[in-house]
Structure 1
Amino acid sequence: MSHLPDDPLIERTLSSEQVFDGALLHVRRDRVRLPDGGESVREYVRHPGAVVVVALQADGALVLERQFRYPLRRAFLEFPAGKIDTGEAILACAMRELREETGYEAADWQHVGVMHPCIGYSDERIEIFFASGLRHVGHAWDEGEFLEVLAMPVDAVEEAIHTGRITDAKSITAFYRARPLIHAVLGR
């Protein structure tokens, strides 16, 4: 798992060019020196990073949302998540996204870890948070944002993962990373 400069697997950047510069995504094409001395091209997406929040209600249900995802042309069941704004602290982003998308604020927050969802073509990282002590204050959706907020018991979320009803990688990863904290709060 080394990423030190003397790692024998390191590919060194020889040149880099921007291929696309969008509102969210930025695509680059780099020419690299391979470990064996050869050269190759690497195309990848630069992403500002995101957060995902596993939020536990007092009744033991988890807060999820159904949201249409255009690239796959269908609605997905997932945990609240969103892009980190430039200069924004990850906890502030998690708090903002939970409040905006679901209308909940949380008294207790724990950073669970990080995941890298698309390591073959993107530098995106998703910071995982667990929130409890929820209080509903009303959502504040962004313009053009449409979603359904719902609550599901922990066992139902796990079943939805195993039956393919939840296929979103960030939600699956976040659930399993947060599961020990969920059980600790619920006393299981």
Structure 2
Amino acid sequence: MDHLYEKTTKTTEIFKGRVIELQIEEVELPNGKTSTREVVKHPGAVAVIPITKVGKIVLVRQYRKALDKVIVEIPAGKLEVGEDPLDSAMRELEEETGYKTEKLEFILSFYTSPGFADEIVYLYATDKLEKGLSQTDDDEFLDVLEVTLEEAEQMVNNQTIHDAKTAYAIQYLKMRELKKP
């Protein structure tokens, strides 16, 4: 696979914010020519598929400025520097929904936009929820919803759920249901 590798020869930092960094990377291509790549650096994120004791999926509804609209998502959040993804997932679940759990099952991790960003999302699931208190960040406003799998599928179809991590989570739950005897 070395014949596909692009060697970075120079990195220029363009922007460094609270959530992302933007870099321009000059690269040497496998054929010896050079090019530039715009790269978004991100510390990573976690997402949780929470299922209540009665089998409902816990979701959050919130406004997303980048989209300029309200969408429904599974609880998720950015990893803090050096934070373990499992610890982050436990924290985000409680902060956003008020639910706590003693056990999260790791499902998988995936890159969100590998063409220009290094963000990786660690996805967990749990059906062992205990009610607690939500404690959202000062700049975070959301509603907590509890929906059936069928209702969640409808939300995907009408694009109320319109992000990849949540659509994947709904698909994962649907496949899991199909595998049950």
**Does TM, normalized by the shorter one, top 0.5?**
yes
Counterpart among 36, 40, 46 of residue 45 in structure 1? 40
1:75 aligns with 2:76: no
CA distance in 1, matches of 2:177, 2:95: 23
- TM-score, normalised with respect to structure 1: 0.90
- Stretches of structure 1 that go unaligned for 5 or more consecutive residues are 1-5
| Alignment check: 8 A CA contact 1:18 1:28 kept | yes
Distance 1:68 1:80 in 2: 13
Deviation at 1:39, TM superposition (A): 0.5
8 Å contact 2:10–2:26 — kept in the other structure?
Answer: yes
Cα distance in 2 for residues equivalent to 1:106 and 1:70: 30
Q: Which amino acid aligns with 1:54?
A: I
- Cα deviation, 1:130-153, whole Å, max 9, x if unaligned, reads 011111111011112100001000
Whether contact under 8 Å (2:149, 2:170) holds in the other structure is: no
Which blocks of at least 5 consecutive residues in structure 2 are unaligned? Answer: none
Q: What is the CA RMSD across the aligned residues, in angstroms?
A: 1.6
More deviation, 150-159/92-101: 150-159
TM-score by length of 2: 0.93
* 1:29-79, Cα deviation, whole Å (9 max, x unpaired): 000011111100001100000001000001110000101101111111100
Q: Using the TM superposition, give the Cα deviation of residue 182 of structure 1 relative to its aligned residue in structure 2, in angstroms.
A: 6.2
Q: Does 1:136 align with 2:131?
A: yes
Choose the corresponding residue for 2:144, options 144, 149, 155.
149
Q: Which amino acid aligns with 2:115?
A: G
Shift of 1:17: 1.1
Partner residue, 2:24? 29
Name the stretch that deviates more: 152-161 or 77-86: 152-161
Return the letter of the residue paired with 1:89: D
CA distance in structure 2 between the aligned counterparts of 1:67 and 1:20, rounded to whole angstroms: 26
> What SS is found at the alignment partner of 2:160?
coil
